[in-house]
Amino acid sequence: MTRILFALSLILLTWLGASQPSWAAIPDDIDLLMETNDCPVCILNDADLSGQDFSGANLKVATLTGSNLQGTDLSHTNLMLAYLDDADLRGASLEGSQLNGAQLPNADLRGANLKNAEMTQVNLLDANLEGADLQGAILLSVKLGTANLKGANLKGANLRGADRSMALLCNTVMPDGAIENRDCDG
């Protein structure tokens, strides 16, 4: 019951435009994730979960703000409505994961594998996706802002409704396979 009330509170705060509260990770939630791979609405902020295998995990509406997920296998994971603000996801695999409605502002996704990920209405404002593989990803109405997409592969990705006007593009493979170099220096 407490987790349901917490989830409803998070949704209400989001609707009201309030920022995501930041609490330290709850040790019992970390244990639950490690033991069961099922941790919806868990609080895992600032946790070091680097290099772990959480493929197929349920992390729906979990808060992972500032967490270290570098090199973590999150393939085919449910991260819908999850909070990953400022998370370190360098080299992580999120292939085939569901991230619809997730919050990833300022997240570091350099070199991450996001092939075929479902990312409708994801907040990627100022995220670093340099060298990320987004082939076949569904990126409908994502918020990019000045996200770094240098060297990213977007071949076959669906970017309908996404404003790419301020995103950084250099040696970026676009959905049609063309290379975009508009933001290359020199």
The pLDDT assigned to 43 comes to 97
How many structural domains is the chain composed of? 1
- The Cα–Cα gap between 144 and 164 comes to 7
Neighbours of 161 (CB within 10 A): 11
The pLDDT assigned to 24 comes to 86
Tokens of 78: 């449910």
Residue 61: closest CA among 7, 121, 118: 7
The pLDDT assigned to 124 comes to 98
Query: For the domain that residue 43 is a member of, what is the CATH number?
Result: 2.160.20.80
The pLDDT assigned to 185 comes to 83
The pLDDT assigned to 170 comes to 98
- The Cα–Cα gap between 113 and 93 comes to 5
The pLDDT assigned to 16 comes to 36
Exposure string over 99-119, b if 16+ CB within 10 A, otherwise e: bbbbbbbbbbbbbbbbbbbbb
Q: Which residues contact 47 (CB under 8 A, 6 or more apart)?
A: 25, 30, 64, 67, 68
| DSSP symbol at 21 | P
Tens digits of pLDDT across the chain (186 residues): 555 555 545 444 444 344 445 578 999 999 999 999 999 999 999 999 999 999 999 999 999 999 999 999 999 999 999 999 999 999 999 999 999 999 999 999 999 999 999 999 999 999 999 999 999 999 999 999 999 999 999 999 999 999 999 999 999 999 999 999 999 985
Tokens of 48: 């070091």
For residue 160, what are the domain limits? 1-186
Whether 65 contacts 47, CB under 8 Å: no
Whether 21 contacts 41, CB under 8 Å: no
Whether 127 contacts 106, CB under 8 Å: yes
The pLDDT assigned to 14 comes to 46
SS3 53: strand
pTM over 0.95: no
